[in-house]
């Protein structure tokens, strides 16, 4: 049977970071569904990383896309951050921001919002600098491969973060489960997984182009995580939906899990 799921090749040829950023990450004065979801995710990430429970040396962001919002709280709790994406143009977009190149996307209003959550809106420029300093590498990744980062040798991470990536990268549930197993190998036993997913989403628009998404339920995600050697510690589902012009979804899942310690008896 032929599958119409968006291929990796289509991502390389047709994914436009600019169109995507302008559609989903314009943090304007008029409140949109997209910015409500963004603010919600920023609040959850700030709870996770600033309450001090999730911290360590190395955090790897899987499928960073062209965005950095997801790292704004994490950069306070991790010494080193590695960002990764399959598409060259997404990695280039992030590098532009890291290097403060002219024409880089302006994240400052999002950074200010996070600083306000963390207690001091005025520290936004320092936070930008901190994040730029903590991102040590920008790597290619492919979650469908047994070694998602290829031959790049990194120590196992203390935390993996992944937002809206796996459901876009995986065409069916078995592929999704395998991708989680592939990611498991990048994480220390006892290490944290922070996952954000648009539930039951089957597509998202970028300009006039439709990109596929694997519709997943909370139950499918939990079962897949368990099979892949993770346990879920915190699962929140929020009844937030993207604008129907761009996407179909039924809520946003925010999950914090851990890699099981497979050596018997020892629990971190």
Site residues (CB under 6 A) for ligand U7K?
A: 8, 11, 20, 24, 63, 65, 85-87, 90, 141-144, 164-165, 167-169, 198, 201, 204, 213, 242, 247, 249
Q: Which is nearer to ligand U7K, 74 or 198 (CB)?
A: 198
Could you tell me the smallest distance in angstroms from the CB atom of residue 163 to ligand U7K? 8
Q: Which is nearer to ligand U7K, 164 or 230 (CB)?
A: 164
Q: Helix or strand or coil: residue 129?
A: helix
Could you tell me the smallest distance in angstroms from the CB atom of residue 57 to ligand U7K? 23
Using the 8-state DSSP alphabet, how is residue 54 labeled?
S
Could you tell me the smallest distance in angstroms from the CB atom of residue 35 to ligand U7K? 13
- Answer positive or negative: Cα dihedral of 58, 63, 66, 70: negative
Q: Which is nearer to ligand U7K, 8 or 100 (CB)?
A: 8
Q: Which is nearer to ligand U7K, 62 or 159 (CB)?
A: 62
- Answer positive or negative: Cα dihedral of 141, 137, 61, 160: positive
Q: Which is nearer to ligand U7K, 148 or 257 (CB)?
A: 148
In this structure, how many other beta carbons lie within 10 angstroms of the beta carbon of residue 266? Answer: 9
Could you tell me the smallest distance in angstroms from the CB atom of residue 95 to ligand U7K? 15
CA-nearest of 34, 44, 79 to 206 is 34
Could you tell me the smallest distance in angstroms from the CB atom of residue 205 to ligand U7K? 9
Tokens of 200: 């039951």
Could you tell me the smallest distance in angstroms from the CB atom of residue 126 to ligand U7K? 27
* Alpha-carbon distances, residue 44 vs 18, 63, 118, 233 (angstroms): 26, 19, 12, 14
Whether the CB-CB separation of 171 and 91 falls below 8 Å is answered with no
Site of tokens 């999704």: 176
Q: In this chain, which residue has its C-beta nearest to ligand U7K?
A: 65
Q: Which is nearer to ligand U7K, 75 or 253 (CB)?
A: 253
Q: Which is nearer to ligand U7K, 147 or 268 (CB)?
A: 147
Q: Helix or strand or coil: residue 143?
A: coil
Could you tell me the smallest distance in angstroms from the CB atom of residue 140 to ligand U7K? 9
**CA 37/CA 39 separation, integer angstroms:** 5
Tokens of 263: 């050596």
* Alpha-carbon distances, residue 170 vs 5, 7, 114, 143, 248 (angstroms): 9, 9, 31, 8, 17
């Amino acid at each position: 049977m032929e599958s119409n799921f968006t291929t990796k090749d289509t991502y390389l040829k047709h994914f436009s970071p600019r169109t995507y950023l302008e559609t989903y990450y314009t943090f304007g004065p008029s409140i949109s569904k997209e910015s409500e979801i963004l603010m919600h995710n920023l609040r959850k990430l700030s709870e996770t990383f600033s309450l001090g429970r999730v911290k360590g040396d190395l955090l790897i962001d899987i499928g960073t896309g062209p965005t950095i919002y997801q790292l704004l709280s994490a950069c306070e709790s991790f010494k080193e951050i590695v960002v990764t994406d399959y598409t060259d143009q997404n990695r280039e977009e992030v590098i532009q921001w890291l290097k403060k190149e002219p024409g880089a996307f302006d994240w400052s209003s999002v950074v200010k919002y996070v600083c306000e959550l963390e207690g001091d809106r005025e520290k936004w420029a320092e936070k930008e600098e901190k994040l730029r300093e903590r991102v040590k590498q920008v790597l290619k990744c492919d979650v469908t491969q047994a070694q998602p980062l290829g031959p790049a040798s990194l120590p196992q991470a203390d935390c993996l973060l992944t937002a809206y990536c796996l459901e876009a990268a995986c065409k069916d549930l078995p592929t999704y489960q395998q991708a989680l197993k592939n990611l498991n190998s990048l994480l220390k036993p006892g290490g944290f997984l922070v996952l954000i997913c648009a539930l039951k989403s089957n597509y998202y628009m970028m300009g006039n182009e439709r990109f596929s998404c694997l519709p997943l339920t909370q139950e499918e995600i939990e079962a897949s995580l368990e099979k892949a050697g993770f346990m879920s510690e915190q699962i929140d589902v929020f009844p937030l939906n993207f604008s129907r012009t761009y996407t179909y979804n039924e809520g946003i899942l925010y999950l914090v899990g851990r890699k099981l310690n497979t050596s018997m008896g020892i629990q971190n």
